[in-house]
Chains A and B, each alone.
Chain A
Amino acid sequence: MSEELIVEVGRNKYIIKTDRKYTETDEWALKRDDGKIIVGITDYAQKKLRDIVGVELPDPGIKVKKGESLGTIESVKATSDYYAPVSGKITEVNERLLEEPELLNTDPYGDGWIVVIDPEKPEEYDELLAPGEYAEKIRREKH
Chain B
Amino acid sequence: MPRIPLLDFHVEKLGAETGFFGDWEVPMRYTSSLKEHLAVRNSVGVFDVSHMGRVILEGSDVLDLIQLLYTKNMEKVVKGWMSGPTLALNQYARVKDDEMLYKVNDEEWLLVTNALVREKMIDYINGIIASKGLKVKLDDITFKTSMIAVQGPRAVELFEEIGARWMRDLKTLEFRMNTEIAGIKVFLVSRSGWTGEDGFEVWGDHGAIEKLIEKLVEKGAIPAGIIARDTLRMEMGFVLGGHEYGEDPIRYPCALSLRYGMGAIDWKKKGYIGEEMLRSCRRNGVRWIRVGVKMSKKSARVIPRENTLIYVEDQPIGWVTSGAFSPVLKRAIAQAYIDTRYALFGEPVELEIRGKRHKGKIVDFPLIKTKSSL
Interface residues on B, range: 10 to 19
Is A54's CB under 8 angstroms from B34's CB?
Answer: no
Evaluate contact between A74 and B32: CB separation under 8 angstroms: no
Choose from A55, A56, A76 the contact partner of B34 (Cβ within 8 Å): A76
- Interface size counted on chain A using CB atoms at 8 A: 13
| A74/B33 in contact, CB under 8 A | no
On chain B, the residues within 8 Å of A51 by CB distance are 29, 32-34, 227
Restricting to A49-70, which residues have a CB under 8 Å from any CB of B?
Answer: 50-51, 53-56
Contact flag A76-B354 (CB < 8 Å), given A51-B34, A54-B332, A98-B301: no
A54-B301 in contact (CB<8A): yes
A77 within 8 A of B: yes
Which residue in A50, A56, A76, A98 is a CB contact (below 8 Å) of B231?
Answer: A76
Most buried by A among B29, B305, B325: B325
- A53 pairs with B303, CB closer than 8 A: yes
Question: Which secondary structure dominates where chain B touches chain A?
Answer: mixed
Whether B221 is near chain A, meaning CB under 8 Å from some CB there, is: no
Mask: chain B, 2-34; 1 = CB below 8 Å from A; 0 = not = 000000000000000100000000000100111
Closest CB in chain B relative to A3 CB, distance in Å: 28
Q: Tell whether A72 is near chain B: CB-to-CB under 8 Å.
A: yes
Q: Please tell me if the beta carbons of A53 and B301 are within 8 angstroms of each other in the complex.
A: yes
Output the least CB separation between A104 and chain B (Å): 12
Contact with A along B319-337 (1 / 0, CB 8 A): 0000011000000100000
CB-CB < 8 A to A18: which residues of B?
A: none
13 contacts between A and B (CB under 8 A): A50-B33, A51-B32, A53-B301, A53-B332, A54-B300, A54-B301, A54-B302, A56-B302, A74-B301, A74-B302, A74-B303, A74-B325, A101-B301
Which residues of B are interface residues toward A (Cβ below 8 A)?
A: 17, 29, 32-34, 227, 231, 300-303, 305, 324-325, 332, 354
